[in-house]
Structure 1
Amino acid sequence: MSAAESAYVSTLGKVDSLHQQVLASFPLCDITEEDLTQNAQFCKLLATLAQHVDQSGLTVPLKTELEKAEQKLQSQRRYWLRSEGVHKALQEMTQDHCIRKHHATVPPDQNMFYETMEKCLLVAQCIRQLDPSSTTNQDQPSVLGLTPQQMMELMPLEKNIQRMKQSLPRELEKHLKTKCLSLLSYYQPEWENESEGLKNSKLSHLSAQMGNEKKRAESLKESSRENSVLLQRQTQLYLSEQIKCIQLLQSLILDHRLRIQTDLDRKKLDYFEGKCELVLQKIKTEMVEIQLDTYKVDTISAHTKMREKLSSDLKASQVEKHSVELKLASFEMLGKDFEALAEEYCRLRQEIEMNTWALKEFTQCKNK
């Protein structure tokens, strides 16, 4: 960084905060003071760049050329507006004359003046349409085969034109004065009933007053733009601070919720345990009441003993079943050969049981 740039940065810091100066130098950039704080080198770069560009981002030489071009454009625009204004005023004068002609009698010389002016305007407009400019092709076909020279033949008589030219400044001035007075009445309605001299005096100051009003409107527009930029930055700052507050509030809520959640869960668990115990006791009570309503006390005691005996037998049967299933599973592991032996064993056991029964019957019959 050069010495001048360093001095500029130092001056910025003395006048106000460097960040605020950078933000004021680049109002169109969507950056915040926090961004500049986190990027110090970028902030210095913007501060240095502010010496070479304006608030719109244009460099000083380009800004100068742009101002010259705008001045030239304004000059050309004023020239065009002056010519266009005179042309429109002449057209309005012919239109006003046509309206007056249908409502009142117009003097012959005035009628001749407006007819001559209207013909001149029409011929001039047609010639401008037929005469190609320097940017168009000279070989293009003309409209209806007409030429500017042919249109010039339709001009009024030269003496009528000269008379019209002599009266034109006076009539044009009168028409423009009437329009200015109408503008003055619109701008300040309370001046409408003033005298002619006072109106003329105030009319001479109307341009300056409207210029002041225009400057005031531009000043208010610039102030409004600055306030809009300031409001946007303040809104961004407010939203960022609000987001921080919301995050802090969320963290506090979360910590508080986690801290009391254990106590709350324990209380809920105790409540549900007590409620379940109460429901179970109520169910047992209902069962006992149903038994007492259905059976006698001795019957209930006998049923209880029968249930205990059946439960013990059921458990013994389940144990025996499990033991047999284990043995059967071990036998099934031996394959189909053992299955044939098991069937033969079952057949022999049946024969032994049959012979034993027959022998027992035979012995009983013999003893008789």
Structure 2
Amino acid sequence: MYFIELFRLLYDKKQSFKMIFFGFLLTVLASFPLCDVTEDDLTQNPRFCKLLVLLAQHMDRTGLTASLKAELEKTEQNLQSQRRQWLRTEVLHRGLQEMIQDHHVREAHVTEPPDQNMLHETMEKCLLVAQCVRQLDPSNATNEEQPFVFGLTPQHVKELMPPDKDVQRMRRALPKQLENHLRQKCLHLLSYYQPECETESEGLKTVKLSHLSALLDKEKTRAESLRGTCRENAVLLQRQSQVYLCELMKCIQLLQTLILDHRLKIQTDLDQSKLDYLEGKCELVLQKLKAETVEVQLDTYTPNSISAHRKIREKLEAELKACRAEKQAAELKLSSFEILGKEFKALADEYCRLRSEIENKKWALAELTHVKN
């Protein structure tokens, strides 16, 4: 009993060690998802596994070191800050352009108040002048002096600005109108994202609008998480596909071995069985042909024709028997004549010649007698 318990304890420890080692291998593989490495590779190459463990302490899942990752995060933060600043400017610029376009669309249908026309015309001129000035300014990325287009300078273009009084009036009225325009765009975005809020009150829409950015950030985070999960699943699927192909190749090799080793051994028995089957089939076909022949004969010959054939056969057999008896008698006579020897043959030939001459002379005499008459 003591040895059994000891053996069971050792077996349990061995199983637990296997589970721990397997979990360790999975942890190492999870640290390098982009590497095409399997559990068998790590098991067969322990030094390589140790190297991966050491690398995992200094690298993340994407293969970046800690210092490089910190520098990358700092650069990304700077990039995000500059991107946000550019987006603010771009949103304002596009918002102003959309306001001008909406004004032109409304002008084609309704008559706008003079102050609104003046405001939008001033804003349009300011945008055009600012765009031209930006195009004419030399690039800040190089110290070389660039030639001006048609000799125009930014100062020449700035002279086309509207009067300062109109510009100041536009600046005072623009924030409120721009705010209303952006608010309408946000409400349209909210209606697109949540169509059920179109029938709600303005206050409730404003409350939902204040939480829209958080909802969009949440959806974006969820989409990125799903994208990362999809990438991990793709890597896992590729790894499993490779394992599946390896196992499939092993199965194919095993099947090929079975075919080459075992099928050739039983090929003789298979051929003998096939030969016996074909012989039995041929015998069956022959018996069937005989049965068909008998059936055809039964259908062809009636009882009367059979009795007639029997009588004909009896008559022919009787004639054949008589001919055989006559033949036998002639053979006996010939045998008796053969006893006389060669002299009898000469006499027989002379007799035949004389008989032939007699027959010829009789014929000639008959012809002469016929002519005289």
Task: Please classify the TM superposition score into its range, dividing by the shorter chain length.
Answer: 0.5 to 0.7
Equivalent residues in 2 for 1:55-66, closer than 5 Å: 55-66=61-72
Q: Verify: 1:179 aligned to 2:189, yes or no.
A: no
Question: Which residue number in structure 2 is paired with residue 97 of structure 1?
Answer: 103
Higher RCO (CA 8 Å, separation ≥ 6 residues): 2
Q: Which has the larger radius of gyration?
A: 2
Counterpart of 2:253 in 1: which secondary structure? helix
* Residue ranges of structure 1 left out of the alignment (5+ in a row): 1-12, 273-368
Question: Which residue number in structure 2 is paired with residue 223 of structure 1?
Answer: 229
Equivalent residues in 2 for 1:32-47, closer than 5 Å: 32-47=38-53
Give the 3 Å change call, closer, same or farther, for CA 166–23 of structure 1 in structure 2.
same
After TM superposition, give the deviation of residue 77 of structure 1 in Å.
Answer: 0.6
Equivalent residues in 2 for 1:326-337, closer than 5 Å: none
State the alpha-carbon separation in 1 of the partners of residues 144 and 105 from structure 2.
41
State the alpha-carbon separation in 2 of the partners of residues 219 and 55 from structure 1.
15
Question: Which residue number in structure 2 is paired with residue 20 of structure 1?
Answer: 26
Q: Verify: 1:234 aligned to 2:240, yes or no.
A: yes
Question: Which residue number in structure 2 is paired with residue 143 of structure 1?
Answer: 149
State the alpha-carbon separation in 2 of the partners of residues 198 and 15 from structure 1.
57
State the alpha-carbon separation in 2 of the partners of residues 15 and 172 from structure 1.
64
Question: Which residue number in structure 2 is paired with residue 204 of structure 1?
Answer: 210
State the alpha-carbon separation in 2 of the partners of residues 187 and 15 from structure 1.
49
Note if contact 2:187-2:209 (Cα within 8 Å) is conserved in structure 1: yes
Write the deviation string for residues 111-159 of structure 1: whole angstroms up to 9, x where unpaired: 1110001000000000000011222354221011100111111000001
Deviation larger for 238-247 or 49-58:
238-247
State the alpha-carbon separation in 2 of the partners of residues 230 and 271 from structure 1.
54
Q: Verify: 1:163 aligned to 2:163, yes or no.
A: no
Aligned residue identity for 2:23: S
After TM superposition, give the deviation of residue 14 of structure 1 in Å.
Answer: 4.6
State the alpha-carbon separation in 2 of the partners of residues 271 and 225 from structure 1.
60
Q: What is the Cα-based RMSD across aligned positions, in Å? A: 2.3
Identical amino acids, percent of aligned pairs: 67
After TM superposition, give the deviation of residue 266 of structure 1 in Å.
Answer: 7.3
Counterpart of 1:135 in 2: which secondary structure? coil
State the alpha-carbon separation in 1 of the partners of residues 170 and 20 from structure 2.
71
Counterpart of 1:17 in 2: which secondary structure? helix
Note if contact 2:38-2:239 (Cα within 8 Å) is conserved in structure 1: yes
Question: Which residue number in structure 1 is paired with residue 299 of structure 2?
Answer: none
Equivalent of 1:152 in 152, 158, 171: 158
* Residue ranges of structure 2 left out of the alignment (5+ in a row): 1-18, 279-373
Deviation larger for 110-119 or 213-222:
213-222
State the alpha-carbon separation in 1 of the partners of residues 271 and 193 from structure 2.
78
Write the deviation string for residues 294-333 of structure 1: whole angstroms up to 9, x where unpaired: xxxxxxxxxxxxxxxxxxxxxxxxxxxxxxxxxxxxxxxx
State the alpha-carbon separation in 2 of the partners of residues 15 and 203 from structure 1.
53
Aligned residue identity for 1:258: L
State the alpha-carbon separation in 1 of the partners of residues 273 and 175 from structure 2.
103
Question: Which residue number in structure 2 is paired with residue 260 of structure 1?
Answer: 266
Equivalent of 1:123 in 129, 144, 155: 129
Counterpart of 1:225 in 2: which secondary structure? helix
Counterpart of 2:199 in 1: which secondary structure? coil
